[in-house]
Amino acid sequence: MFYLDTNIILSYTHKTEELHWQAKNLIENLEGKFYASPFSILELYCVVSRNIGKYKLPLPHFWRLGENKKVKTVVENAIRSLNLTVCSDDTANKEIEWLSAKVFSIYFDAIRLASKVKLRTGDILHVAYACQLKKEGKIEYIVSLDDDFQKKEELIENETGIKLLPGNLQ
């Protein structure tokens, strides 16, 4: 049971990615269910839309599709090719008292983890989603080829109990 970072999803599904073969070998050696988050889907749309020329699919007339349809098709293909299960967001129900504002529990968890793990915003959100899935008994690992994750492997495991694959590459 594995939470997949966006770089793994794109690298696995597209040979044009620098880390394609590493991601492909890693994924093909894992047995279990793969998870992603709503944030992962947003990130996929953002990355693919900025680099749509890099992501082509062997579909008839793909090049004729409008840009929005191309992006959607590439993202859907990535999700389907890995048979990803996407977890759901909850309602905004956690209160940051000093702000008198309610936030999604994922943001609340990410805020709590931020000062401990010290990752970029997107990466800490991935860790928070992975924590939610771990609490639900759905995952044990985060799979990422991101250098920032690799550098924080020990902190992530100590704070969350989630192991990182493929492990420290340093």
Classify residue 169 by its DSSP letter. Answer: -
- 8 Å CB contact between 111 and 96: yes
In the chain, the domains with their CATH numbers are: 2-165 (3.40.50.1010)
The CA distance from 117 to 6, in Å, is: 19
Tens place of pLDDT per residue across the chain (170 aa): 999 999 999 999 999 899 999 999 999 999 999 999 999 999 999 999 999 888 877 778 888 888 899 899 999 999 999 999 999 888 778 887 777 788 888 999 999 999 999 999 999 999 999 999 999 999 999 999 999 999 999 999 999 999 999 865 44
Nearest to 49, CA basis, from 29, 70, 34: 70
